[in-house]
Structure 1
C-alpha cells in the first residue's frame, strides 16, 4: 500500500492527484482541496470562509437541504464541505457502486449551491447560536485571545468562525463572491483512494471539474508570531484558571529540521505523562490535572503553544513554573534518557498512525503540500532513529525564541 502522485489536465490546467488504491473494502473516498482558500482569505469579513462552507452543506437550490441530504443518505454517501485556515475542502465517500452517482451529486452542488436568503438566515442562526455557546467556553476564549496576542495585526488574530458582529453583517453577495473567487482549477489538489482504478477515477473526476473556471494561482503569505511577551486576563465566574501560552517558532513548513522539532516537542510537552512540563507542573507540584505544549508548523504560520488549567489561586505559580521549565529546556537541552524514550514512542507508535486509508492519504497530502516528496515520513523516522543527543540539543538551544512567552488567561 503506497501513494502515487498523478495528475489530470482540465481546461489546460494540470491538477495533481495523490492516489492510493486499496481493495480491502468496496469504498471510494476523495477530497477536492483548494489551496489559499480558507479563513486566511476572509479579509475584513471574519468567519466568511467557514460560513460559505456551511452554506454549501445546505445542498442545491433545485433540491433544497432536506431532499439533497435524503438522496445522499439513501445511498450511504457522505458529501460535506469544510474550511480550514489555509484550505477549503470538498469531501466525498461512498460505496464503490455508488461512486458515479456521488460524483454527479457533487457536480450538481458545485453548479447549483443553495445560496438563497432562506439558507443564509438558517446558517446565520446556527452560527450565532454556536458563538453564543462559546461565551461560556473558557478554553475557547483563552485560545482566541492568545492568537490575538501572538498574531497581532495579521489574519491569524481573527477567529475562524467569526464573531457575532461579523456573522450578522454577512450577505448573500458576500458568500456568492467568496465562492466564485475561490472555486477554481489553478489552486486545486485532489486526494483520493479506495477500490477504484486511477483511470476510472479520472473519468468520473473530469466530468465534475470541467465545469469549473481556471482562475488565477494564489500565493500563500506567511505570518510570523511575535515575541512581545504580552499578557491578557479575562475575568469570569470560574473555579479554574484557564491558561494558554504561546511564543514564536522560527521554522517553515519545509524546514529540514522538522524531525528534530518533533522530538523536542515530544520531550517538552507533547508526550503527556513523562514530558518536562507535566513532570514539573503536575507530578512535582500538583498544580494541574494536565498540561500540554506543541510546535505548530504550517505554511502560513508557525508557533510554540500550550495550555493548562489550575486553581485560580495557583495561577501565578503555574505560569512561573512554565516559564522556568521552558527556559531550562532551551538552556540545557534534553537528557539521553528523554531522547531514548522519545525515539521508542515515535518509532514504535508509527503503525498506529498509518493504519487506515484516510490516515495514509492525509499524511501523503501534507507531505506534498509542505513541499516534500511522497514517502518523506519514512525518511523522518530514519532520521529520528539516527538523531544524536548533541544534534538535538544544538537544535533546541538554537530556538530560544520559544522562551518569549505570552499568556492568555481566563480566571475569576
Structure 2
C-alpha cells in the first residue's frame, strides 16, 4: 500500500497545473462509453464507475437494502472471503471504494499500471460475483444499525429526516437511504441480492478514467468489468414537485443548541438560469464569510458559528436549502434574520461588488479541483451524470464570468421564495413553535 500512496503524492504536481483538461470520448468494442484524461507520466490510473439510481431504487418495504449491499461489495467476492479479498487488493497496492447516495452508486478504483490486469479482475469479481456471506452480512448489518441508532440521537440527522419526510412523503427521497432499525434488521440475503441486480446494470452505468491508460486499453477494461452485468436494472422513481409553505416545524429535543434546516423548491441543473443561480447563492449563503447570511447572522449579531445555503439539484427534485445552529434562546432571532436576508436578495438582487467577489471566489479555485487522477475521474463521471459536455471543464469559468447583475436580479426574483421558506428546527427553541406544516 505504501507504494501507491507514494505515487499518489506525485500526482498533484503532475496534473494540477494543466491549463486545460483534454478529455477523450472512448467506446469499447462491447459498446460501453467513457471519458478519459490520459496521463502516462505516472504508472497509475483512477477509474470511476457511477450507476444512476442509487438508493432511490430500494424496493418497497426494503429501505436500506442498497446501502447494505454496497457496504458488502468488498466483503468477499468469487473464491475470496472478506479477509482474502482485502489481502488480495493490498497485495496489488490497489484501492477500491464503494459508495451510495440517493441517486448514484459509485465505485472508485486506484490501480498501479503494473498490476492493472490482476486488479481489474479482482474488481470485476466484486461487481459481478459478490459473495454476500452470512457472517459478513451480519457484521456489516450491525455496523449499519449502530450508525442508524447514532443518527436517532443527532439533531442534524433528525432535522434532515424530518424535512425529507415533510417534503417527499412516500417517495424514496422521503426517508434516509440507510434505512431504519426495523427495515435493516428485516433484510434478507435475497433482498441484498435483489438490490444488487436492481442497481448495478449496463443501462445506467457511466465511466471515467484518468491516468496511465490509453483509449484502447480503457475500452478493453470496460468490457472486462461490465459485460456480465444485467442489461437493465429497476425503473427510476418518479420526479417530485417540491411544495412548501413559509413557517416553522419544531421537533422537541433536549440540547442546549437548536439546529435548523430551511428552504424550498430549487432549480434543476439543466435549467438555463442555473449558472446565475449558482453565482447568486455564493452571495447569499454559499461564499463562506463573504456571504450575506454569514455576515448578518454571525458577524453582526453573533447568533451562530456558521450558516450557509446551497442548491440541491437532485435527480428527481430540486431543492434550495440552508442550515444554521444557534443557542435555544437565540434561534428565533436567527430565523428572523435569515428570512429578512432571503427576502432582501429576492426583492433587490445583489450589488456589483458582491457579484464580482462571487465570480472571483468561484473561478479562482476551480483549477485546484483537478488535483489528481482520482479527483479528475470523479469530476468527469459527475459531468456525464449531469448531462454536461466534455468541454465544460474548459468553458465553466467563462460561463460564470458571463453572468450579469441583471441576470442575478432576475434569477433571485424567480427562485427565492420567501412565501415558501420553511424551517425545521430541532431542539428547545425559545420563542418558536410549529406554525405551519408543509
Q: Provide the TM-score with structure 2 as the length reference.
A: 0.88
Q: Distance in 2 between matches of 1:313 and 1:148?
A: 27
Residue 47 (1) aligns with residue 64 (2): yes
CA apart distance, 1:205: 2.8
Residue of structure 1 equivalent to 2:284: 268
Cα distance between partner residues in 1 of 2:418 and 2:36: 37
1:177 correspondence with 2:197: no
* 2:246 and 2:420 in contact (8 A); partners too: yes
Structure 1 residue aligned with 2:399 = 383
Answer whether contact 2:293 2:338 (CA < 8 A) is retained. yes
DSSP-derived class of the 2:261 partner:
strand
Please give the alpha-carbon distance, in whole angstroms, between the structure 2 residues aligned to 1:132 and 1:16. 41
In the alignment, what sits opposite 1:145? 162
- Aligned position for 1:257: 273
| Secondary structure of residue in 2 paired with 1:372 | coil
Closer, same or farther: CA 201–400 of 1 in aligned 2, 3 Å: closer
Other-structure match for 1:204: 221
Match of 1:25 among 22, 26, 42: 42
CA distance in 1, matches of 2:57, 2:335: 31
1:58-88 per-residue CA deviation (whole Å, 9 max, x = no partner) reads: 1225221111101111221112322121122
Distance 1:353 1:176, change over 3 A: same
Higher mean C-alpha deviation, range 93-102 or range 114-123? 114-123
In structure 1, the partner of 2:119 is: 102
SS in 2 for 1:132: helix
Select 1:373's aligned residue among 389, 392, 407. 389
Q: What's the CA shift for 1:42?
A: 4.4
> Which range moved further: 355-364 or 21-30?
355-364
Equivalent residue runs for 1:359-370 within 5 Å: 359-370=375-386
Q: Answer yes or no: is 1:339 the counterpart of 2:359.
A: no
Cα gap change, 1:61 to 1:363, in 2 (>3 Å): closer
- 1:116 deviates by 2.4
Deviations 1:155-186 (A, max 9, x none): 21110111111111111111111212332212
Long gaps (5+) in structure 2: 1-20, 429-438
**Alpha carbons 1:30, 1:93 under 8 Å: kept:** yes
Equivalent residues of 1:22, 1:193 under 8 A apart: yes
CA-based RMSD of the aligned residues comes to 1.9
Are 2:302 and 1:282 aligned? no
Q: Is the contact between residue 291 and residue 307 of structure 1 (CA under 8 Å) also seen in structure 2? A: yes
Write the distance in 2 (CA, Å) between the matches of 1:203 and 1:294: 40
Partner of 1:351: 367
- Normalised by the size of structure 1, how large is the TM-score? 0.93
Q: 2:104 aligns with which of 53, 74, 87?
A: 87
Match of 1:34 among 51, 54, 61: 51
Question: Is the contact made by 1:150 and 1:246 (CA closer than 8 Å) also made in structure 2?
Answer: no
Contact persistence 2:260–2:424 (CA under 8 A): yes
| More off after superposition, 331-340 vs 230-239 | 230-239
In structure 2, the CA distance between the partners of 1:353 and 1:79, relative to structure 1 (3 Å rule), is closer
How many Å separate the matches in 1 of 2:170 and 2:231? 32
Determine if contact 1:35/1:88 at 8 Å carries over to the other structure.
Answer: yes
Q: How far apart, in 1, do the equivalents of 2:49 and 2:313 lie? A: 23
1:271 Cα deviation after fit: 0.6
Offset at residue 217 of structure 1 (A): 8.2
| 8 Å CA contact retained: 2:57, 2:235 | no
CA distance in 2, matches of 1:317, 1:402: 16
Structure 2 SS opposite 1:232? strand
For the Cα contact (< 8 Å) 1:226–1:247, is it kept in 2? yes
Find the residue that maps to 1:308 and give its secondary structure.
strand
Change (3 A) 1:357 1:47: same
Going from structure 1 to structure 2, the CA distance change for 1:211 and 1:153 (only over 3 Å counts) comes to closer
Given that 1:19 and 1:192 are in contact with CA atoms closer than 8 Å, whether structure 2 keeps it comes out as: yes
User: How many correspondences in the alignment?
Assistant: 408
Superposition pairs of residues 295-314 of structure 1, within 5 angstroms = 295-314=311-330
